Each structure stands twice: as structure tokens, then as C-alpha cells.
Structure 1
């Protein structure tokens, strides 16, 4: 473990630290303009618990996937505007334009609703 100091309000660690089991902290901060690098050979798991101690959210980063377990998932842009949100009842895309790419096209099961349907100039609506 790097240089470890007990300071007012917590512990300060300079250098690298290797955690072999669990790291439990209420807050981890880096120095100004310095990154925090977390590296794992298997996976990285972040968990949060509610006031009663029950698991409320989990984020798992593995070698080939990212898994999120939560009731409400949101992605915001740098201005705080909603880009994507998902929960048990709905999935919302909040961008101005939605592009769906791929050779297979798009399959929609159920109904679709829109305020405007139009074809490119000089082309039929299909």
C-alpha cells in the first residue's frame, strides 16, 4: 500500500493501493485534476443500499459487458438534459433525433405513436 496518513475527516493515501477483498468507503476523491484509476482482472462491482440496508442498485463491469440493476436508469448530457431513461414501465429517448442503424431494419411489436409522419421530397411514404 502506498503512503497512508490519518487526516482530519478520514484517511489519505498517496500512491497505489491493492485491495484484496472489499473496499468500503463513504467517499473516494482524487486530487484536483488527477484521475482515479480502478483496475480489476475479473470485474468491478459497485453497490448501493437503501436506509434499511437492502441492495437498491448494482453496477457490474466485466470483461465483455456492463450490467446495471436498478429501478430507474438515466443518461444525461453535460447540460443535465435527459438523453435516455428506462424503468419497468417505459423506455424514453430524449434526443432531438433518433437514428436506428443496421442492415436488419427495425422491428416494432405493438403500436407506435408520432406527431408527424413524412417521406423525403419526391418519394412515397412507406
Structure 2
């Protein structure tokens, strides 16, 4: 299974997890000229920009470790475009990471407020 397929599976699992936990998924794989956000969701009055990282093992470290400063900045700038495009200036928002582990049994670790501006 290649990295892209692993990522797609992880994003589907993450979206199902979020829906089950009363998040409304607004967008999947939102793209603009700056970058991509895996999932944009809403819970209560907060818009959540979610980076999904999936691993079959820990050979390359924990999933959240792949969201380095450069990746965070790209997500933040992409989110700003989404906020402007949808006129959400007075809305609360946050940045989460959802780690999906695909070993023998699926495991999810939802890191709320994983990073901020």
C-alpha cells in the first residue's frame, strides 16, 4: 500500500471519527493556490482545520511530528484564504491534528489545538 493510498484511508477514517463525535465535515481536501487542508469541520461555533497523518508503524516517528513548522505555516495560510473566501472573519477557529494508526487495530489520536498562530 503506497503512501497516497494510506493517506486516503486515514482521511476516510478521520472523517468518520469526526462525524461520530458530532463534528460537521464542511470540506475534504480543500485546495487553493497556497496549499491543501485535509478536513475542514465545524463543531458548535468553531471552524476546525484538520491535518490528518496516518501511519502503519512508527519507523518514521509519530504522525504529528511530520507537521513541521513549514507545514503548519502552509496550513495556516491556506486556512486564511478559506476564512476570507467564506467571509468567516468573526468566527472562532483552531488547528487540529488527527493521527490515524493502521496497525492491527485502527487507533485515532485527536490532538485539539495542535498548533496556533
TM-score, shorter chain, exceeding 0.5: no
Give the structure with the larger helix fraction: 2
Asked which structure has the greater CA Rg, the reply is 1
Normalising by structure 2, we get a TM-score of 0.25
- Normalised by the length of structure 1, the TM-score is 0.23
Q: Which has the higher contact order (CA 8 A, sep 6+)?
A: 2
